[in-house]
Amino acid sequence: MAHDVGNADDGQEVALDLDEQGPDLETAMREAVAAVEGTGEGARPETADDEGSDEVTRLRQEIADLRDRSMRTLADFDNFRKRSERERQELRRYALLEPLRELLTVADNLDLALSAQGSADDLKRGVEMIHRQMQELMRRFGVTEIAAVGQPFDPTLHEAVSREESADVKAPTVVAELRRGYRMHDRLLRPAMVKVAVPPETPAPVAADGGEAAS
């Protein structure tokens, strides 16, 4: 098999027979072509392509695994959020279950007192007993009374519904309790409704000419 590769210096055509030159010349020509095409010395081993393909496959598998784990994590978080919301709603709905169960005993005693036959003094003693039972129940749940009468007026604890001047006080002071106030632990349940006494206003000094003296 002959190929024309060009003209010699003397103008005569030179024919090269690859079959006669043997496999060494053919290999050399292939290496030269590969070098011109930028592939380096000789053709790149086929194992490099195989390794690159395996790496791409591995990375794709890792991405798929990460995506799957992310979806599972999101699903678990959503289930946790829904479960927490249900528990929060149930806690709010049944938060008073235990206090009300204890309060039923007080209600039972009130029913007994109303249906009992006796004098007014007997009824009063029964009501007093139920009142003490109610106070003890409130203390068990952290409810305490707010001190009022004789205390300095505190707008964060007392609700003033009446006001009077009094020379017996030097600062606003609670002199009567119209409705008892309560706090639960460190929180206010309701303020005490009170009557407040305040010092009398000092009249302005009068000047000699009958007008107000300048201060």
* pLDDT confidence of residue 183: 94
User: Does residue 160 contact residue 173 with C-beta atoms inside 8 Å?
Assistant: no
Chain centroid, CA 116 distance in Å = 53
Q: Is 92 helix (H, G, I), strand (E, B) or coil?
A: helix
Distance CA 23, CA 57 (A): 38
pTM reported for the whole predicted model: 0.54
* pLDDT confidence of residue 115: 85
Say if residue 207's pLDDT is above 60: no
Say if residue 72's pLDDT is above 50: yes
pLDDT category at 18 given cuts 50, 70, 90 is very low
Q: Is 59 helix (H, G, I), strand (E, B) or coil?
A: helix
- CA count, 13 A, side-chain hemisphere, 31: 8
* pLDDT confidence of residue 185: 92
- pLDDT (tens digit, 9 = 90+) per residue, 114-156? 888 878 888 888 889 999 999 999 999 999 999 999 999 999 9
Question: Which residues, 6 or more positions from 173, have their beta carbon under 8 angstroms from its beta carbon?
Answer: 150, 151, 152, 153, 196, 197, 198
Q: Which class for 202: exposed (0-12), middle (13-18), buried (19 or more C-beta within 10 A)? A: exposed
